[in-house]
Amino acid sequence: MQVHVTAKVFGSIALIAALSLPLSANAQGTIQGAERGAAQGGRDAGPVGAVVGGTVGAVAGTIGGILGVQDRPRFRTYVVQQKVPSYRYESEVRVGAVLPESGVTYYEMPAEYNAPAYRYTYINERPVIVDPRTRTIVQVIE
């Protein structure tokens, strides 16, 4: 009986957390985070762990940006090896900054990162991922 009640409680928490995520959140990060979290939680604690892990993973995926933590160093190396020119940006390079309409060159994301809707560029010697429709930086790769 305790397991059934606990599963309902965690299920309710998961539902509330999922509904509270902003609609404009990066769905790709959310989905990948949820999948990874559910798989790990399921391995560690069974069905209840999968529910909790999926919820926590979805939130972490949304907050973490387009690329997961494990992909960032590899992507950074890829961008540096491409030797694309760095655009000199006078404002702070941060998530949410909107890049100028002209002067910035955007490059397609490699297929292995599964982010075809986004582009990358190099701003002030830092790789960034950009939403090309709005020219908004969605992730800064450190």
Which residue shows structure tokens 């539902």? 15
Give alpha helix (H) positions in 65-136. Answer: 72-82
Q: Identify residue 123 by its one-letter amino acid code.
A: I
pLDDT band at 138 (very low <50, low <70, confident <90, very high): very high
Mean pLDDT of the chain: 76
Confirm whether pTM is higher than 0.95.
no
Higher per-residue confidence, 101 vs 56: 101
pLDDT band at 45 (very low <50, low <70, confident <90, very high): confident
Q: What's the confidence (pLDDT) of residue 19? A: 41
Q: What's the confidence (pLDDT) of residue 46? A: 73
Q: Which two tokens stand for residue 3?
A: 């397991």
Is the pLDDT assigned to residue 26 strictly greater than 70? no
Q: Residue 29: which of 129, 136, 98, 142 has the closest Cα?
A: 129
List the end-to-end C-alpha distance of the chain, in Å, as a whole number. 47
Average pLDDT over residues 58-69: 65
Give alpha helix (H) positions in the chain. Answer: 2-20, 27-64, 72-82
CB 63 within 8 A of CB 22: no
**Listed range (6-10, 41-45, 86-90, 106-110) with the worst mean pLDDT:** 6-10
